Structure 1
Amino acid sequence: MDNKEISTLIKVNRVLFLLFSSLFFIAVLSQIFLAGLAIFVNPIYWMKHTTFIHVFGFNIPVLLFLLSYFGKLPQWSYIYVFGLISGVFFMYFTANFTNILRWLGALHPIIAVFLVILSFLLVKKTTLFIFQKRSSELI
């Protein structure tokens, strides 16, 4: 494999990283919307809220971890992905252990806001990293 193929492969992995981090951001917003529907419209949406998390919960962050490795992204990408994985873990924790400590349930929407902010910042930082013109490329 020559350098051009490696460079192209790295670029593809970086674009896929951006795509899946954007998908995660949209999925977290959708989860909040489904929770709002369950509270204000019809409780039937709780089932959709709890089922939807299994589609993207840990799957996308693990994929992001692999793409950050294969895309040779900087260390900040690993920190963000670790934050997403931790956030999803704590979301599961606060949803499933409220029988033991009732106040844990109150942390669930706060962690959701944390995930929205963190995933948005990841999309923004990745977009800037991938598409910013470096001074060496301008010449």
Structure 2
Amino acid sequence: MRIPMVKILYFALTVIFTLMITTQIILAGMAVFIHPMHWANHTFFIHLFGFNVPLLLLIVAWLAKLPRVVYWQIFGLMLMMFLMYFSANIAGHFPWFAALHPVIGTGLLLLSFWMVIQAKFYLNKENQS
């Protein structure tokens, strides 16, 4: 049976988001361990996909009629993205919260990996039908 294009698109977007989060972690590591100029790349890169890809995921998940748990995962991504922005910009007032920035980033990476695995499951399930 044919797999609907929207499910393929959902899978592709989860992979893209995961790769982008991985790139962000690498850029942050480069800024810490190689040269601070990489912070500019780190901050610029997030603006390219930060909330754009999760919004696209939300729309595509709705078009693909995916289960309700998918929407909660996407909202989780959005919440963690907000917390990432917040923790990066609150350092002057609450340094302890800013210290959670890499922890939240790790959670974001783990959730995005989980979403890729589930999206692949939805593709396989559709293929077996």
Give the alignment's TM-score, normalised by structure 2.
Answer: 0.94
For the aligned residue pairs, the C-alpha RMSD in angstroms reads 1.5
1:116 matches 2:109: yes
Q: How many positions carry a matched residue from both structures? A: 128
1:98 is matched by which residue type in structure 2?
A
1:32-63 CA-partner distances (Å, limit 9, x unpaired): 00000000001110000000000010000000
SS in 2 for 1:103: helix
1:60 is matched by which residue type in structure 2?
V
Q: Is there any run of 5+ residues in structure 1 with no aligned partner, and where?
A: 1-6
2: CA distance, partners of 1:126 / 1:101: 37
CA shift for structure 1 position 68:
0.3
1: CA distance, partners of 2:73 / 2:113: 10
1:131 is matched by which residue type in structure 2?
N
Q: For 1:40-51, what aligned pairs fall within 5 Å after superposition?
A: 40-51=33-44
Higher RCO (C-alpha under 8 Å, 6+ residues apart): 2
- What is the percent sequence identity of the aligned residues? 38
2: CA distance, partners of 1:73 / 1:13: 10
2: CA distance, partners of 1:16 / 1:87: 22
1: CA distance, partners of 2:51 / 2:77: 9
- Name the residue aligned to 2:53: 60
Larger radius of gyration: 1
1: CA distance, partners of 2:100 / 2:47: 20
CA shift for structure 1 position 84:
0.5
On the 8 A contact 2:61/2:70 being kept in 1, the answer is yes
Displaced runs of 4 or more, over 3 A: none
